[in-house]
Amino acid sequence: MIDKTRSGIDFFDQRFGGIFRHRATLCVGRRGSGKTIAALHALMQSIREGVRGLMLSAWHSADLSIVADEYGFPLSTAVDSGQIILLEYAQFGPEPELENRHVLPPGSFMEFEEIVVANGIRRVVIDTVLPWIAIRQEERLAKHVYSFLHALERMEVTAFLTMPRPVSPLAFALKNRMEKQVPVVFTLEVDSDNRRHLLVNRYLGQSVLPPQMPIAIEPGRGIVPLAVPQAVPDLARPLPPPPSLPPIMQKSIKYSAAFRT
Amino acid sequence: MAKILIIDDNDSVRNYLKTVISRKGHEPVTAATCQAGLAQLNDPSIQAVVADLYLPDSPVISDWVAQLKQHAAGRPLILITGEPSEELAGQIRSDDIAAFLTKPFELAFIHKLLERALAIPEPQIAAPPNVTKSP
């Protein structure tokens, strides 16, 4: 039996019936495209479902809470009540030498797994997933990604992963590998006129996917559908500036240079 | 406590598994080759086997798995691999192989699979470190 749960992005869930429970969903987009907002939707869905969620983020927790509040997510309250656990890459994350340790699990992953189990976490949001899966050896990429995704499944959590848009051949190889193994993949796009779209790249079981869907990111509401294209710019609701904090682990994530963050 | 045989040619993986299994109170024994591993399996006190699928002296996978099963004689068998092939996945479904784990991340679950295979209750995990309770 196919078991689905909500992604937390309402119009997406209405269109597709949600995402696959205990599997990963991948959100790709360049910096400022709204990946973190999508991640917050996914995180707060755990509260709607009455389960505990965890977010591992490159953001400083205090900054993330401010952004979350701006877009209508009561993150601070959820953290204080123990419904949500926040982990920062700055304090917790793959060791810098992960790239050289392909055959052994990083100690931080085992620690991460213990936190998930000990706290009864059912939904995990990783913004960005890059530090875990980005290795330079392309010939090992497939096995590395496979092992990571299956380790998440072994934890029996519903995972929401974000990834910067790739700009190098190796980064594209990584994204393509993820797309082959993750059942639901979508891209958040923002064009030069600041128009935003959500494009579903893969939805397992659906051979015909919809065209890109116009969206807006609004204060107090997060990601919402834009039913009518912005033909008359004066009538359009002004878009808030996109989040622009640099990833905290930027120095450690050497591979991120291959991505447009 | 159970005696667990680890068959892997990679020193790092062997030592890692040895450490994890020891910490869980079991007795690990190791082999770096197929032949050495199969020879060790003659020891009836070994209660479970963790084996890499690809070893320098391993035959084709199906033969190696068949030999392991024959020598294991019903003892739980956990295979370690990279990305498992369709052939392996099918074999695992049809055979009495306890599980397979992929390197590197899934190795972290070895003790849980062993405990399940040996029907030993899982220990309670202590409170996690480094949890940011509030932003």
The mean per-residue pLDDT over the stretch A11-34 comes to 96
Q: pLDDT digits over A26-54, tens only? A: 999 999 999 999 999 999 999 999 999 99
Checking phi first, is residue A131 left (phi over 0); if not, alpha (psi -120 to 50) or beta? alpha
Higher pLDDT, residue B133 or A4: A4
Q: State CA B79 to chain mean position distance.
A: 5
- The CA distance from B46 to the nearest CA of chain A, in Å, is 24
Which domain does A39 fall in, by range? Answer: 4-260
Q: CA-to-CA distance for A35 and A27, rounded, in angstroms?
A: 7
Q: Which residue of A has its CA nearest to B111?
A: A110
Residue B50: inside a domain: yes
Instruction: Concatenate the DSSP letters of all residues of A35-56 into one string.
Output: HHHHHHHHHHHHHHTT-EEEEE
Burial class from Cβ neighbours inside 10 Å (0-12, 13-18, 19+) for residue A137 reads exposed
**C-beta atoms of B10 and A118 within 8 A:** no
Q: pLDDT digits over A135-189, tens only? A: 888 888 888 999 999 999 999 999 999 999 988 888 899 999 999 999 999 999 9
- The CA distance from A172 to the nearest CA of chain B, in Å, is 20
- Start-to-end C-alpha separation, chain B: 43
**B11 Cβ contact list (under 8 Å, min separation 6):** none
Nearest to A119 among B104, B105, B128 (CB): B128
Report whether pLDDT(A101) > 50: yes
**Residue B12 contacts A where some CB pair is shorter than 8 Å:** yes
Nearest to B127 among A109, A118, A144 (CB): A118
Q: Which residue of B has its CA nearest to A75?
A: B135
Q: What is the CATH number of the domain that holds A74?
A: 3.40.50.300
Name residue A192's amino acid. S
**C-beta atoms of B106 and A101 within 8 A:** no
**B43 Cβ contact list (under 8 Å, min separation 6):** B3, B5, B29
Report whether pLDDT(A208) > 60: yes
Which chain B residues contact residue A103 at CB under 8 A? 10, 12-13, 103-104
Name residue A211's amino acid. P
Total domains present in chain A: 1
Residue B31: inside a domain: yes
Burial class from Cβ neighbours inside 10 Å (0-12, 13-18, 19+) for residue B118 reads middle
Residue B129: inside a domain: no
Residues A124, A56 contacting (CB under 8 angstroms): yes
Question: Three-state DSSP class for A87?
Answer: strand
Which domain does B25 fall in, by range? Answer: 3-117
Q: pLDDT digits over B109-121, tens only? A: 998 888 888 875 4
Which chain B residues contact residue A82 at CB under 8 A? 133
Residues B128, A115 contacting (CB under 8 angstroms): yes
Q: What would the 3-class secondary structure string for chain B be? A: CCEEEEECCCHHHHHHHHHHHHHCCCEEEEECCHHHHHHHCCCCCEEEEEEECCCCCCCCHHHHHHHHHHHHCCCCEEEEECCCCHHHHHHHHHCCCCEEEECCHHHHHHHHHHHHHCCCCCCCCCCCCCCECCC
Nearest to A151 among B83, B106, B132 (CB): B106
**C-beta atoms of B82 and A65 within 8 A:** no
pTM reported for the whole predicted model: 0.82
Q: What is the CATH number of the domain that holds B32?
A: 3.40.50.2300
Residue B18: inside a domain: yes
Report whether pLDDT(B92) > 80: no
Of A158, A160, A148, nearest to A51 by C-alpha is A158
Residue B133: inside a domain: no
**C-beta atoms of B135 and A146 within 8 A:** no
Neighbours of A251 (CB within 10 A): 9
**Between A and B, how many residue pairs show a Cβ–Cβ distance under 8 A?**
95
Which chain B residues contact residue A146 at CB under 8 A? 82-83, 102
| pLDDT score at A228 | 53
Q: Provide the b/e sequence for A71-100 (b: ≥16 CB within 10 Å).
A: bebbbbebbeeebbbbbbbeebbbeeebee
- The CA distance from B119 to the nearest CA of chain A, in Å, is 18
**C-beta atoms of B126 and A118 within 8 A:** yes
Total domains present in chain B: 1
Q: What would the 3-class secondary structure string for A166-200 be? A: ECCHHHHHHHHHHHHHCCEEEEEEECCCCCEEEEE
**C-beta atoms of A80 and B16 within 8 A:** no
How far, CA to CA in Å, does B96 sit from each of A175, A236, A247, B19, B52?
A: 35, 62, 46, 26, 17
Burial class from Cβ neighbours inside 10 Å (0-12, 13-18, 19+) for residue B67 reads middle
Backbone angles phi and psi of A175, in degrees to 5 = -60, -45
Query: Parallel, antiparallel, or unpaired for β B3-7 and B46-52?
Result: parallel
Q: pLDDT digits over A209-254, tens only? A: 999 999 999 999 999 999 754 444 443 444 444 444 333 333 332 3
Q: CA-to-CA distance for A240 and A71, rounded, in angstroms?
A: 10
**C-beta atoms of B107 and A150 within 8 A:** no
Q: pLDDT digits over B17-64, tens only? A: 999 999 889 999 999 999 999 999 999 999 999 999 888 888 888 888
Q: Which residue of B has its CA nearest to A66?
A: B135
